[in-house]
């Protein structure tokens, strides 16, 4: 890794440079605020205690993520004796003290991790709230023999049972007959010929889940509730959100809101050493009714296909099932919590589990973008890759979340700078400064504009409850102040800025929903089963990024509900002249209708690698297929060339070198253009910037996050940009809206 001091800056080399400071000409930043960013734009660090209130300002930190569960519930053993002795009222006192130094305060929402269980109190109050799965047992037989079966002791009860005839060695899943059962027992009779009985039973997820894996670390019971159950989530709110907020006077003026940590369906086996005893899918008492309302038929006929089957009937059944799961989970958890928070004048936010893999978007949430869309501030955590990896690292996973912000017209997207996840582990808790700067640069490029951290400020070596070594070398006060100032300068400009993107990339979650089967395995095995489709998605995004295409990810529901005006499809803050549709077998009728109207008005639809062959519901096949007659497939290798210009012609500045070394993001904020220029390499780059407004020279401001300086200059210009650093370039307002000559 290239080494350099924090004081080094990017240099401007041009005979046209205006040696003046220029912040007064900008609408949303001044020389003073850029040099010394207000706290609201700096990194928020985990923990709010008397010690952190004394320490954090020395490191340039601007806010806190407060974990108060140890004070509320001393039995966790996770708060100091002095705080426990002070009682719950110390929560309000700490928040008051943080606000007195102008700190932003977010409230962590749970006792332990992942969020949702209140340390196990939700299930302790009512064991019926505990999360369960659906599994399938098979009994084979011949003729009308007696069937007398009782579930194994580790299964909870029977939900459904169906007899299927076996013809020529194949089970006819379309000709099933329901079988009567009571509780955990079936007493019935077979049918003529060979048959199979499929018993669908509930399995309590009380072992080998993510929730159980953190019991020692956080001192909780590990009993996780069904997050698709609104009443269970209501008790989570009652045990965590309510007692915390009760200690804070006027929370709307004191705190930002509540932040969750990886709540999920809790259906994944979390042990690498062995497989689970049963293959499982999510189940909740309200799921049959939700399924029927959405899809117009009974859920029972879909159940075998959740465990097997490769044909269209099986895949559609899984698709419909996962859509119902996503709707129920979204309403119960993220929508209920947002509404509760908003009624009290605060916001909801949080980050989620394994957000870089679309198969995990389904496994954990049914549909992650839909689930996230009900939070006020979408968020994610992301690894800090090592030098050999960071140039090719998938920072674009951030765009799922900034795209939700754009869709729902929200101005902030949060990212946790996480040194542990991604395989980097607890022995590298203090990534080198260039790695952190690169992560901030690339996250900002993909739309993040708020940052949090739990990296240790001082050297430490401890062992956690599992005996694992946690080691961090810490940071000097000078280095961490620089990191906070750098971050604050970037986010001050980019918070509230919107990407100037003319391309919408369709979220192909339906294909992962239709492919995902019940599983007994740890999550990497599930991910690997879907690697071909994941790689196809990754190649599509990489083609756009390498081609310097400005895009946002658009959810199917957003497309179906969008307005189409003057050949552009309007989704939230975005307005798209081109929709990129990647690797789809099925497409909803509502989306198909929108695309037809979009193309009729002059919009462009690009089918990547294949054209859909059917609708998501078979009754709509004819209507969908008729609209696809004549549609052509574009290989992902040709995607960027097929798009051409991906942003407004007003954004006519050009940059070299290309996207293999230099990343350029185009944003707008308060009617001003903002270009974010990022050096992705470990070497100094000479960046040539050309302006083409009527062939005349263009005036602009360059904002340097490394030094806090704002300079006015004349384009064209050459900028010397240090390794893993960035610059912000803002053309002067007077040039916006003028007639230009494109190139």
Arithmetic mean of pLDDT over the chain: 93
Per residue in 7-59, pLDDT (tens digit) is 455 544 443 444 344 556 688 999 999 999 999 999 999 999 999 999 999 99
Determine the pLDDT at residue 697: 62
Closest CA to 92 of 238, 255, 256: 255
Q: What per-residue confidence (pLDDT) applies to 427? A: 83
Query: How many angstroms separate the CA atoms of 730 and 704, rounded?
Result: 11
Q: Residue 735 — very low, low, confident or very high, per pLDDT cuts 50/70/90? A: very low
318: left (phi over 0), alpha (psi -120 to 50) or beta: alpha
Whether the CA torsion 475, 480, 483, 488 is positive or negative: it is positive
Tell me: pLDDT of 120 over 80.
yes
Q: What is the mean pLDDT of residues 108-137?
A: 97
Is residue 413 within 8 A of residue 464, CB to CB? The reply is no
pLDDT of 734 > 60? The answer is: no
User: What pLDDT does 138 receive?
Assistant: 96
Distances (CA, A) of 94 to 53, 59, 119, 250, 388: 9, 19, 22, 14, 42
* pLDDT average, residue stretch 367-391: 94
DSSP secondary structure string, 567-595? TEEEETTEEESEEEEES-SEE-HHHHHHH
pLDDT at 302 over 50: yes
> What mean pLDDT do residues 394-409 have?
97
Q: The tokens 């042990």 sit on which residue?
A: 271
For residues 155 and 698, which has the higher predicted lDDT (pLDDT)?
155
End-to-end CA distance of the chain: 37
How confident is the model at residue 741, as a pLDDT? 28
Give me the pLDDT at residue 461, please. 86
pLDDT tens digits for 653-677? 999 999 999 999 999 999 899 999 9
Q: Cα-atom radius of gyration of the chain, to the nearest Å?
A: 27
Quick one: tokens of 233?
């989530």
The answer on pLDDT for 157 being more than 50 is yes
d(CA 466, CA 419): 19
Q: What is the pLDDT of residues 163-216, one digit of tens each?
A: 999 999 999 998 999 999 999 999 999 999 999 999 999 999 999 999 999 999
- pLDDT tens sequence across 517-573: 999 999 999 999 999 999 999 999 999 999 999 999 999 999 999 999 999 999 999
| CA 380/CA 382 separation, integer angstroms | 6
Which 8-state DSSP code applies to residue 302?
A: G
d(CA 670, CA 493): 11
Read off the tokens for 534: 């994941």
Give the mean model confidence (pLDDT) for residues 281-304. 97
**Mean pLDDT score, 251-264:** 98
Minimum mean pLDDT among 279-283, 396-400, 543-547, 711-715: which range? 711-715
Confidence of residue 617 (pLDDT cuts 50, 70, 90): very high
**Residue 15: what pLDDT?**
39
Spatial contact of 724 and 437, defined as CB atoms under 8 Å apart: yes
Pairing, β 672-679 against β 662-669: antiparallel
For the stretch 473-485, pLDDT in tens is 999 999 999 999 9
pLDDT of residue 499: 98
To the nearest 10°, the Cα dihedral for 704, 709, 715, 716? Answer: -50
Residue 119 and residue 73 in contact, taking contact as beta carbons nearer than 8 Å = yes
Residue 4, pLDDT above cutoff 50: no
Per-residue pLDDT band for 738 (boundaries 50, 70, 90) equals: very low
Is the overall model pTM greater than 0.85, yes or no?
yes
**How many percent of the chain have pLDDT more than 90?**
89
DSSP 114: S
Decide the pairing of beta strands 672-679 and 654-656: unpaired
Tell me the pLDDT band of 694, cut-offs 50, 70 and 90. Answer: low
- pLDDT for the residue 488: 98
Q: What is the pLDDT of residue 692?
A: 65
Determine the pLDDT at residue 8: 54
Q: Note the pLDDT tens digit of each residue in 52-111.
A: 999 999 999 999 999 999 999 999 999 999 999 999 999 999 999 999 999 999 999 999
Across residues 283-309, what is the average pLDDT? 97
Q: Residue 470 has what pLDDT?
A: 79
CA angle 638, 641, 646 (to 5 degrees): 130
């Amino acid at each position: 890794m290239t080494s350099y001091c924090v004081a080094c800056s990017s240099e401007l080399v041009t005979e046209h440079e205006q040696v003046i400071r220029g912040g007064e000409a900008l609408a949303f930043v001044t020389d003073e605020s850029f040099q010394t960013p207000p706290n609201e734009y700096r990194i928020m660090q985990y923990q709010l205690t008397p010690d952190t209130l004394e320490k954090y300002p020395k490191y340039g930190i601007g806010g806190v993520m407060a974990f108060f569960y140890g004070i509320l519930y001393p039995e966790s053993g996770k708060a100091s004796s002095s705080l426990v002795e002070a009682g719950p009222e110390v929560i309000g006192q700490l928040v008051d003290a943080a606000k007195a130094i102008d700190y932003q305060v977010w409230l962590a929402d749970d006792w332990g991790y992942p969020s949702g269980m209140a340390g196990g109190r939700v299930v302790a109050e009512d064991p019926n709230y505990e999360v369960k799965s659906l599994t399938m047992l098979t009994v084979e037989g011949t003729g009308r023999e007696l069937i007398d079966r009782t579930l194994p002791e580790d299964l909870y009860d029977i939900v459904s049972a169906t007899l299927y005839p076996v013809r020529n060695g194949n089970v006819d899943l379309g000709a099933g007959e329901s079988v009567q059962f009571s509780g955990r027992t079936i007493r019935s009779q077979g049918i003529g010929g060979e048959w199979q009985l499929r018993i669908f039973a509930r399995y309590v997820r009380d072992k080998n889940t993510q929730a159980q894996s953190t019991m020692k670390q956080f001192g909780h019971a590990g009993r996780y509730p069904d997050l698709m159950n609104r009443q269970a989530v209501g008790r989570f709110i009652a045990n965590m959100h309510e007692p915390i907020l009760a200690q804070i006077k006027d929370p709307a003026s004191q705190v930002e809101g509540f932040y969750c940590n990886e709540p999920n369906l809790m259906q994944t086996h979390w042990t690498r050493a062995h497989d689970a005893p049963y293959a499982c899918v999510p189940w909740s008492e309200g799921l049959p009714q939700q399924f029927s309302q959405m899809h117009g038929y009974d859920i029972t006929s879909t159940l075998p296909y959740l465990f097997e089957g490769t044909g269209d009937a099986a895949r559609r059944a899984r698709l419909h099932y996962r859509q119902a799961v996503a709707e129920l989970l979204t309403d119960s958890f993220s929508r209920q919590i947002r509404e509760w928070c908003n009624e009290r004048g605060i916001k909801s936010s949080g980050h989620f589990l394994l957000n870089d893999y679309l198969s995990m978007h389904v496994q954990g949430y049914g549909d992650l973008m839909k689930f996230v869309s009900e939070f006020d501030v979408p968020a994610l955590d992301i690894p800090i890759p090592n030098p050999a990896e960071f140039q090719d690292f998938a920072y674009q996973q951030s765009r799922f979340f900034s795209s939700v912000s754009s869709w729902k017209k929200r101005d902030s997207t949060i990212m946790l700078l996480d040194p542990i996840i991604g395989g980097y582990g607890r022995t590298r808790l203090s990534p080198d400064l260039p790695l952190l700067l690169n992560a901030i640069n690339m996250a900002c490029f993909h739309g993040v504009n708020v940052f949090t951290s739990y990296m240790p400020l001082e050297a430490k070596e401890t062992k956690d409850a599992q005996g694992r070594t946690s080691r961090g070398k810490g940071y000097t006060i000078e280095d961490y102040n620089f990191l906070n100032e750098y971050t604050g300068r970037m986010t001050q400009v980019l918070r509230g800025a919107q990407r100037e993107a003319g391309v919408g990339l369709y979220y192909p979650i339906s294909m992962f929903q239709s492919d995902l089967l019940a599983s007994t395995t740890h999550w990497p095995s599930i991910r690997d089963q879907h690697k071909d489709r994941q790689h196809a998605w990754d190649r599509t995004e990489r083609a756009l990024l390498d081609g310097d295409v400005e895009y946002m990810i658009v959810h199917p529901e957003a497309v179906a509900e969008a307005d189409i005006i003057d050949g552009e499809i309007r989704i939230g803050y975005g307005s798209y002249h081109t929709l990129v549709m990647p690797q789809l077998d099925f497409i909803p009728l509502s989306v198909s209708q929108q695309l037809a109207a979009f193309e009729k008005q002059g919009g462009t639809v690009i089918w990547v690698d294949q054209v859909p062959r059917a609708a998501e519901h078979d009754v709509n096949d004819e209507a969908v297929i008729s609209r696809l007659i004549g549609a052509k497939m574009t290989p992902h290798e040709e995607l960027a060339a097929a798009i051409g210009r991906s942003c407004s012609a007003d954004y006519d500045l050009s940059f070299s070198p290309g996207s293999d070394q230099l990343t350029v993001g185009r944003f707008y904020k308060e009617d001003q253009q903002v270009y974010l220029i990022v050096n992705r390499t470990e070497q100094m780059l000479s960046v040539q910037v050309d302006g083409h407004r009527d062939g005349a020279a263009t005036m602009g401001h360059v904002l340097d996050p490394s030094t806090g300086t704002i300079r006015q200059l004349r384009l064209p210009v050459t900028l010397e940009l240090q390794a893993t650093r960035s610059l912000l370039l803002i053309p002067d307002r007077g040039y916006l809206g003028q007639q230009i000559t494109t190139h």
